[in-house]
Amino acid sequence: MEFSEVLKNLREKKGISISQLASLTGIEEEFLKALEEKNWELLPPDIYIQGYLKKISQVLEVDFEDLWGLYRIQKKELYFSGKRDLFPEIKTKKSFLGVDWGKLIWVGLVLLGCFYIGLNLRGLFLPPQLQVTKPAFDFVSLKEEIEIEGKTNAHILLINGKEVPLEEDGSFFYKFSLMPGLNILRIEAKNYFGRSKIIERKVIYKK
């Protein structure tokens, strides 16, 4: 069974809808749907998918390594399948039509450049990526101070309105002092285009 089918079956067995899974993990619904429907072109790089699957495995109560391994196998099979399909066609053109390889490489580079520009233009329309790995869920704390960790591709990160410095790879670490009772952590990532992504965590501090 393929990764997408396994993921969908696991979610349905838990009786969780995609919208509920998005709420529990902080992952956008469009990415969860893309994972289940094999729309790989709509997904961010695999480093983000790895983080997504860690959260999903916690909610669905399955082993993360198994889920991540199955995902990588399916992506690898897709890559090699495409390679086998295209190779004979290119070889035939070279043998019988006398393709100018210089022009072919030039066209490939132009298409690659257009693809790269298109990916960057997505930032004009899509919110930035944001992962909050710690705390992963709402919880009750017996400590006055908690740690907030995660990663983003945005340029500005705010926690309850306070800007938090980002590392070169987009990761962040922040110690947050809790007040007795309910604390709402509002983690917001912003990019240069005015788009933002917000994840909230609720923490109850009991002395």
CATH number of the domain enclosing 9:
1.10.260.40
Structure token pair of residue 84: 């086998």
pLDDT at 112: 80
pTM above 0.85, yes or no: no
Asked which of 56, 71, 86 is the last residue of a domain, the reply is 71
How many domains, in total, are found in the chain? 2
Dist CA 49 CA 134 (whole Å)? 17
The whole-angstrom separation of Cα 33 and Cα 25 is 14
Q: What percent of the chain has pLDDT over 70?
A: 82
**Number of C-alpha atoms within 13 angstroms, CB side, residue 1?**
10
123 part of a folded domain = no
Domain boundary among 27, 44, 71: 71
Q: What average pLDDT is seen over the chain? A: 83
- Percent helix, percent strand, percent coil in the chain, to nearest 5: 50, 25, 25
State how far the Cα of 52 lies from the Cα of 71, in Å rounded to an integer: 12
Q: In terms of residue numbers, what domain contains 170? A: 130-205
The reply to whether 83 falls in a domain is no
- 3-class DSSP state for residue 22? helix
Answer yes or no: is pLDDT of 162 > 70: yes
Domain final residue, candidates 50, 71, 92 = 71
83 pLDDT more than 50: no
